[in-house]
A and B are shown apart, each in its own frame.
Chain A
Amino acid sequence: MITVQKLTKRYRNQIVLNLERLEIPKGQSFGLVGNNGAGKTTFFSLILDLIRPTTGYIVNNDVRVDTSEAWKPFTSSFIDETFLIGYLTPEEYFYFIGELRNRNKADVDALLSKFDNFFHGEILGQKKYLRDLSKGNQKKAGIVASFIGNPEVVILDEPFANLDPTTQIRLKGIVKDLTDNTNTTVLISSHDLIHVTEVCERIVVLDKGEMVKDIQTSTETLQELERFFAT
């Protein structure tokens, strides 16, 4: 689904990302871990063509992302709160995203009804603008918005951060459901090793922009990761 070729990103003389080759097959749940500054968000921003690669390129489903926009209809993402439009209510935001992805109100409502549990009654019908919601609730809205329109690729940057425990557990269920029952490719980055190992089939560790580990998740993975980050 996503192929990375000789990708580097350099700011002045500092290389922040250097991936020789990386292939993420369709339907995989892909986890990205690494300390601050490892290049996780840079990598996601490159996939979304929000920053320009210094060398190399990324191909998303046969579309080279920095030359064509044809990847947009089947790719969706939630990177941070700047992906939300603060002066809209959550409903308006969902409908707006739906509109962009050719889904009418009824379609969006049908999708949202599946997330009642996840929203925990704190998102819909609150008569509040997104800018006035708490960080956690903003995140919930953003994550669900990224599921609108059956995207083939979903990119979530730190989806577990700021969420309360109940919601974290529910989110894990949602992501598992997404990769088990549909052919959606899910890319997740996280600082929480337990969550990623539970959710992702494959985990890549970045360190200072380099890929240092590429693991198919097994029962030993968590220990392996903990050992890596402890040293």
Chain B
Amino acid sequence: MFKYFISLQWKSFFRSASLGKGLALKILMFFFGIYMIVSLILAGSGLFFLLQKIFPGADPLLKLSEFMPYWLLTELFIRYFMQKLPVMEVKPLLALPIKKSTITHYILGRSGLSFYNFMGLFLFVPFAIVLLVQGYPFLNVGFWLLSVVFLVLMVNYINFIINKNDKALIILAVILIALYTLEYFTILPITSYGGKIFYAFYEYQSLFIIPLSLSFLAYLINYRFLRKKIFLDASLGKKTKKAITSDLAWTKHFGSIAPFLQLDLRMIWRNKRTKTQVFLSLAMILYGLVFYTMDDFALTSSMMVFAGIFITGIFLANFGQFVPAWDSAYYSMLMSQNIPLRKYLESKAGLISFSVVIMFLLSIPYVYFGWQALAINFSAALYNLGVNIPVILLFGSLNKKRIDLDKSAFSNMQGMGAAQFLVIIPLLGLPVVVFALLKFLTSFEVGLMAMASLGLLGFVLRKRLLDGITELYRKKKYGMIAGFKEKNS
């Protein structure tokens, strides 16, 4: 039976939509994956010497052991938000003559092979190898590693428990807070106890039975929990959220684009991917801190212009690059309805302009670093409004890839294509080049003025530009409709 499951798994992986993506993207993701793995391995092999350097005289393994609880907690934290048990995928198996217990074991078993479980191994296996090279006894290191593996598995299964069961989540949170409080008020030195416990896995090989039974226990709890729920109406059913409606009457002030504006606002608010996009954009405002606190760059350098364009234009880039793919699910309806394409684009431009203004207002506190910061962000915002909005809409006409709105934005490459990477160059590069050139030839102020004037010029010409873009969208209409229909692109 499990042989079939494995072959199913194999097929689902190699026939998945993400593997059928464009070659360029595949290569890029491949290299990114390699990069991640290599950095973890390098970190793992360097960790021993690093710990030796920071804590001279102490056993690096002991120090690492002290950090282990934090590692596991961080892992749990990340998993809680990112890793979900793929219960929905077994729906087609339910009506087949397979025992429900087998299906349950299958779901739980395969989660043991998930990527998240290997994250830690890429770090700890090299570390263990270094330990061996340094003359630590083989048997002890081996069992220590084994304990770590089982603890990671335990975290894997605990995550599913707290994901499904709020009571378990609360209990866990209470325990953690209690432990932290004890540590904080120095009633109990939890960290050093934790360190001793993890070190004990190294000292006494037989102790590995504890992580083993803990992970087994977590598995068992999960199994009993899940086994009861493999029914269509329990956990496999579609969850429907109660619709919260508001008539967004205030958008009426925007005249004829109001219905589209309402549509966009509802889209952003009611879909996972767009919602995360908004929060990510808002969080990116803090990214400015990275630039402003860097000593390598003066406040008048081109790097700051880059930062200004980036901060005020982050939503523009994130949201704008997928116009009109956001509406891909119902694009053929929009195209057969009584919709002037022009109004549609105007409304998108309006929404993005609004975001640029908001992001600029949020960036005002950076004036703390000097008036130049404000001046840069202001001219960057103008540039974004005038030039980058038409540019991003123009690139949107190359969009032919469907987006499913209800998937999360995290590491979601759906809808990505070469155009999405190319657009970064004119978007961020062009203003920086213009500024740098003029600053080099004349002065900082002239550079900013030039950027701002370009923005104003674009603003003045917006009507004309939008006309041209509308025409382009009209020409590409058939290709877009066909492209958006392809589910697995």
Q: Give bound CA distance, A83 to B243, whole Å.
A: 20
Contact partners of B243 in chain A: CB under 8 A: 89, 126-129
Instruction: Report yes or no: A82 in contact with B329, Cβ–Cβ below 8 A.
Output: yes
Contact partners of B245 in chain A: CB under 8 A: 89, 91-92, 127
Contact partners of B478 in chain A: CB under 8 A: 50-52
Contact partners of A100 in chain B: CB under 8 A: 259, 337-339
Per-position binary interface string of chain A over residues 34-77, scored 1 when its CB falls under 8 Å from any chain B CB and 0 otherwise: 00000000000100111110000000000000000000110111
* B181: min CB distance to chain A, Å: 43
Interface flag for A132 (CB, 8 Å): yes
Instruction: Report yes or no: A72 in contact with B242, Cβ–Cβ below 8 A.
Output: no
Instruction: Report yes or no: A50 in contact with B238, Cβ–Cβ below 8 A.
Output: no
- 16 additional A-B residue pairs with CB within 8 Å, beyond A49-B335, A129-B240: A48-B332, A48-B335, A72-B337, A72-B338, A75-B336, A77-B336, A82-B330, A82-B485, A85-B333, A89-B245, A91-B245, A97-B337, A99-B258, A100-B259, A126-B243, A128-B243
Instruction: Given A87-B267, A129-B270, decide whether A48 and B336 contact each other with a Cβ distance below 8 A.
Output: yes
Per-position binary interface string of chain B over residues 475-489, scored 1 when its CB falls under 8 Å from any chain A CB and 0 otherwise: 000100110010000
Interface flag for B263 (CB, 8 Å): yes
Contact partners of B338 in chain A: CB under 8 A: 72-73, 100-101, 149
Q: Give bound CA distance, A9 to B242, whole Å.
A: 44
Q: For B332, give its contact among A73, A82, A86 (CB under 8 Å).
A: A82
Interface flag for A79 (CB, 8 Å): yes
Nearest 6 A/B pairs, CB to CB: A83-B333, A99-B259, A132-B240, A48-B336, A87-B270, A72-B338
Instruction: Report yes or no: B241 in contact with A85, Cβ–Cβ below 8 A.
Output: no
Interface flag for B420 (CB, 8 Å): no
**Can you identify 19 A-B contacts, CB atoms within 8 angstroms?**
A45-B332, A48-B332, A50-B478, A72-B338, A75-B336, A82-B329, A83-B333, A83-B336, A84-B330, A87-B267, A88-B266, A100-B337, A126-B243, A127-B243, A128-B240, A128-B243, A129-B240, A129-B241, A132-B241
Instruction: Report yes or no: B330 in contact with A85, Cβ–Cβ below 8 A.
Output: yes
Contact partners of B271 in chain A: CB under 8 A: 87
Chain B, 243-287, CB within 8 A of any chain A CB: 243, 245, 258-259, 262-263, 266-267, 270-271
Contact partners of A115 in chain B: CB under 8 A: none
Give chain B's interface residues, CB within 8 Å of chain A.
Answer: 238, 240-243, 245, 258-259, 262-263, 266-267, 270-271, 329-330, 332-333, 335-339, 405-406, 478, 481-482, 485
Interface flag for A96 (CB, 8 Å): yes
Q: Give bound CA distance, A96 to B333, whole Å.
A: 12
Contact partners of A45 in chain B: CB under 8 A: 332
Contact partners of A49 in chain B: CB under 8 A: 335-336
Which of B262, B335, B337, B406 has the most chain A CB atoms closer than 10 A to its own CB? B337
Q: Give bound CA distance, A99 to B337, whole Å.
A: 11
Instruction: Report yes or no: B270 in contact with A51, Cβ–Cβ below 8 A.
Output: no
Interface residue total, chain A, C-beta cutoff 8 A: 34
Per-position binary interface string of chain A over residues 87-131, scored 1 when its CB falls under 8 Å from any chain B CB and 0 otherwise: 111011000110111000000000000000000000000111101
Instruction: Given A85-B263, A86-B329, decide whether A132 and B238 contact each other with a Cβ distance below 8 A.
Output: yes
Instruction: Given A73-B338, A101-B338, decide whether A83 and B266 contact each other with a Cβ distance below 8 A.
Output: no
Q: Give bound CA distance, A58 to B22, whole Å.
A: 36
Instruction: Report yes or no: A96 in contact with B336, Cβ–Cβ below 8 A.
Output: no
Contact partners of B241 in chain A: CB under 8 A: 129, 132
Q: Give bound CA distance, A158 to B173, whole Å.
A: 54
Q: For A96, give its contact among B242, B259, B405, B406 (CB under 8 Å).
A: B259
Q: Give bound CA distance, A224 to B86, whole Å.
A: 51
Query: CB-nearest residue of chain A relative to B262?
Result: A96
* A92: min CB distance to chain B, Å: 7
Contact partners of B405 in chain A: CB under 8 A: 86-87
* A88: min CB distance to chain B, Å: 6
* B485: min CB distance to chain A, Å: 8
Contact partners of A131 in chain B: CB under 8 A: 406
Instruction: Report yes or no: A79 in contact with B242, Cβ–Cβ below 8 A.
Output: no
Query: CB-nearest residue of chain A relative to B478?
Result: A52
Contact partners of A129 in chain B: CB under 8 A: 240-241, 243, 270
* B172: min CB distance to chain A, Å: 32
Q: Give bound CA distance, A110 to B481, whole Å.
A: 33
* A130: min CB distance to chain B, Å: 9
Q: Give bound CA distance, A84 to B242, whole Å.
A: 18
Q: Give bound CA distance, A128 to B244, whole Å.
A: 8
Query: CB-nearest residue of chain A relative to B328?
Result: A82
Q: Give bound CA distance, A200 to B321, whole Å.
A: 46
Query: CB-nearest residue of chain A relative to B269?
Result: A87
Contact partners of B333 in chain A: CB under 8 A: 82-85
Which of A48, A50, A73, A76 has the most chain B CB atoms closer than 10 A to its own CB? A50
Instruction: Given A83-B330, A127-B243, A128-B243, decide whether A50 and B337 contact each other with a Cβ distance below 8 A.
Output: no
Contact partners of B270 in chain A: CB under 8 A: 87, 129
* A98: min CB distance to chain B, Å: 9
* B258: min CB distance to chain A, Å: 8
* B63: min CB distance to chain A, Å: 51
